[in-house]
Structure 1
Amino acid sequence: MTFVTKLTFQSGDKAVLDRVVDNLKSLIEKKGAECRGPHADQPERTSVPQYRTLQPGDQFPAWNYTVYTRRLEIHGADQIARQVSERDYPDSVHIEIELEQKKPLGHRRN
């Protein structure tokens, strides 16, 4: 059975995000693993209201920011996926790791 490691990176700093993902992709490929991506999602614009007090009413202007998302997939190469998950990433980059088990065609459940 093959494992697919799905990595999702998010950040408000597009330049840092792209640098992290590009460096990671080249590292994975140098180690000989199959890497798909990076796939970019549409940037997500978020607006957060800011109140001057704990009671509704008087407000500061809303805080607006953009979140950028990139996704990578590592097929097989469990040891490389483990190394990627243990790396240190900048504080401005959020990473989510999902592991999916792929069964060969024709495989039956017991």
Structure 2
Amino acid sequence: MTFVTKLDFASGDRDVLVETVQELKETLERKGAECKGPHASPSENVTVPLYKNLSPGDEFSPWRYDVYRRSMEIHGADDIARDVVGRDFPDSIHVEVEVDRKKPAGHRRD
């Protein structure tokens, strides 16, 4: 059985995100892991209301910022994927990890 490790990255700092994901891809390729991506998703514009008091009503202008997203997949190479997931990413990047098991083609369920 092969494992596929899916990594989703999100950040408001596009430059740090691009640099981190590119560095990760180069590391994976250097170690010989099969990697798909990084894939970019359209940025999401987020608006956050800012209130002058704890009670509703009086507001400042809302805070607006963009969230940038990238995704990657690591096929097989479980030891390399484990090392990647355990590394420290910059605080400005949110990382989500999902691991799927893929059965070979023609594999029967019992």
Counterparts of 2:105 and 2:30 in 1: how far apart (Å)? Answer: 29
In structure 2, runs of 5+ residues without a counterpart are none
SS across alignment from 1:32: coil
Correspondence for 1:84:
84
Matched, 1:105 2:105: yes
Counterparts of 1:98 and 1:9 in 2: how far apart (Å)? Answer: 12
Report the TM-score, using the length of structure 1 for normalisation: 0.98
Correspondence for 1:56:
56
Counterparts of 1:20 and 1:14 in 2: how far apart (Å)? Answer: 10
Counterparts of 1:68 and 1:46 in 2: how far apart (Å)? Answer: 11
Pairwise CA RMSD: 0.5
5 Å matches for 1:1-110? 1-110=1-110
SS across alignment from 1:41: strand
User: For each residue in 1:46-85, what CA deviation from the matched residue of structure 2 results, as whole angstroms up to 9, or x when unmatched?
Assistant: 0011111111111011010110000010000000000001
Q: Percent identity between the aligned chains?
A: 59
Report the TM-score, using the length of structure 2 for normalisation: 0.98
User: For each residue in 1:20-40, what CA deviation from the matched residue of structure 2 results, as whole angstroms up to 9, or x when unmatched?
Assistant: 000000000000010000000
